Every structure is written in structure tokens, then in C-alpha cells.
């Protein structure tokens, strides 16, 4: 039955069983849930998820699956954003040095970069937008899992756009600081040269030649 549902309906099939006779059904489904009961633990061992009682199925479907999907999509977008930034920076660096094969991260910099950018991933683990009671009370929130909006091409395109804007603003600020610093250095050099020239003129003019 599970195999035919997958072929005919072309939908994700979830099967729940609590006995040894349900093992074939659980293994043929996309997602198998086994419940530990009086008939033994064969179903729970063969399943993808093992539950103590049937009442936990609602929490698994409407809360844990939704939270797992949202956090996994956030993690995918963060890793995608990080990869875009380091790839663009490396590409610009190679273009400036005539495409000589040198990495922009040397020594301990790759490790520090990974440690610094991995901090948001720990925040994702504890992220929770709604409670379990709210998710079970309003099962309509489960709809976004079926629509698959968070991992669509549109969302990844928006992440690419945001990454490009961040990189553009960063490069503009670095370029402005560099130009500003060069102008200040030129101004200081001109002032120092003028002061030294005035000092030399005053020293030469104030000293009379020895008779």
C-alpha cells in the first residue's frame, strides 16, 4: 500500500506501526514511525523515528519536523552566504594579483574564519519561533513545509542578492578608507616638507657668514 501510494499519488508517505507485521510497511514508506508497544520493538528498530506512545505523533509532525525544516533551511542559507562571500573575496584578490594561485587566507586565518562564522550555527540549535502547544493548536503552520518555500530557488536568489550587497558595501567602505588614508598621508607629507623648507630658509637667513 505504501509503495503504491508513493507511485500513484507521488507524495511523501508516512507510515506508523507498532508490531512486527508493520516492518515491511514502515521500510517501504518515505518516513517510518515505530511505536514501542506490547508487540515488541521490531517496528521501532526498523523505523526512522521511534516513539513511546501514539500521542507523540502530533508533536513529531507539527512541531519537531517543522522546527527541523526551518533550522535546516537557515543553516543552508548561512553556509551558502558564507561560501559566496569568501569566493567573491578570493576572486577579487586573484584578479588584483593577475590570477596568481595564492589563497587570501594564510596560516591560522582559515581556522579563525570557520570559528567566527560557525557561531550563528549554534544559535540555530536553540532557535524556536513557536512552542509545541502553539504548533499543535494551529496545524495550519505545517503548510509551509509542504510548500517548501524556505529552500526554493527564490529564497536562494534573495540570499545571493543580500550577499552581493554586503560584499559591495564592504568593498566600498574599504576603498573609501584607503583613499581617505592616502589623501591624509599626502597632506601630512606636504605639510612636513613645507615646514622643513621654511626651517631651512629661516636658519640660512638668520645666520650671518663668518668673517
Q: Give the pLDDT score at 177.
A: 56
Contact predicate 63/136, CB 8 Å: yes
Q: How far apart are CA 105 and CA 115, in angstroms?
A: 14
Q: How far apart are CA 40 and CA 194, in angstroms?
A: 94
* Residue boundaries of the structural domains of the chain: 1-52, 56-206
> What is the layout of strands, in order, in the sheet containing 14-17?
14-17, 31-35, 49-51
Q: Give the pLDDT score at 21.
A: 82
Closest CA relative to residue 32, chosen from 42, 41, 21, 43: 43
Residue 33: Cβ within 10 Å count: 24
- Taking only the tens place, the pLDDT of each residue in 70-96 is 888 888 888 888 888 888 888 887 887
- Taking only the tens place, the pLDDT of each residue in 20-73 is 888 888 888 888 898 887 777 788 888 888 888 888 888 888 888 888 888 888
Instruction: Say whether pLDDT at 5 is over 60.
Output: yes
- Higher pLDDT: 120 or 133? It is 133
Instruction: Say whether pLDDT at 114 is over 70.
Output: yes
Residue 37: Cβ within 10 Å count: 16
The average pLDDT across 130-135 equals: 84
End-to-end CA distance of the chain: 121
Burial of residue 62 (CB within 10 Å: 0-12, 13-18, 19+) is buried
Q: Give the pLDDT score at 171.
A: 72
In this prediction the pTM is 0.63
HSE-CB of 84 using CA atoms within 13 angstroms: 19
- Taking only the tens place, the pLDDT of each residue in 142-193 is 776 777 677 778 888 888 888 788 777 777 776 655 555 544 444 445 445 5
Listed in sequence order, the residues at least 6 apart from 44 whose beta carbon sits closer than 8 Å to its beta carbon are: 34, 35, 36, 50, 51
Amino acid at each position: 500500500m505504501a509503495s503504491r501510494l508513493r507511485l500513484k499519488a507521488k507524495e511523501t508517505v508516512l507510515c506508523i506501526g507498532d508490531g512486527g507485521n508493520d516492518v515491511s510497511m514502515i521500510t517501504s514508506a518515505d518516513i517510518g514511525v515505530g511505536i514501542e508497544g506490547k508487540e515488541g520493538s521490531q517496528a521501532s528498530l526498523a523505523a526512522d523515528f521511534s516513539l513511546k506512545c501514539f500521542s507523540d505523533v502530533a508533536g513529531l509532525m507539527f512541531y519537531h519536523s517543522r522546527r527541523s525544516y526551518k533550522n535546516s533551511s537557515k543553516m543552508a542559507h548561512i553556509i551558502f552566504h558564507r561560501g559566496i562571500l569568501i569566493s567573491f573575496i578570493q576572486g577579487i584578490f586573484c584578479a588584483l594579483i593577475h590570477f596568481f594561485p595564492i589563497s587570501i587566507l594564510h596560516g591560522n586565518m582559515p581556522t579563525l574564519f570557520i570559528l567566527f562564522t560557525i557561531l550563528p550555527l549554534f544559535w540555530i540549535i536553540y532557535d524556536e519561533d513557536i512552542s509545541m502547544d502553539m504548533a499543535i493548536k494551529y496545524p495550519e503552520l505545517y503548510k509551509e513545509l509542504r510548500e517548501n518555500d524556505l529552500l526554493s530557488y527564490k529564497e536562494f536568489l534573495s540570499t545571493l542578492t543580500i550577499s552581493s550587497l554586503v560584499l559591495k558595501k564592504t568593498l566600498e567602505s574599504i576603498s573609501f578608507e584607503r583613499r581617505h588614508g592616502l589623501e591624509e598621508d599626502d597632506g601630512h607629507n606636504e605639510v612636513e616638507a613645507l615646514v622643513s623648507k621654511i626651517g631651512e630658509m629661516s636658519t640660512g637667513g638668520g645666520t650671518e657668514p663668518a668673517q
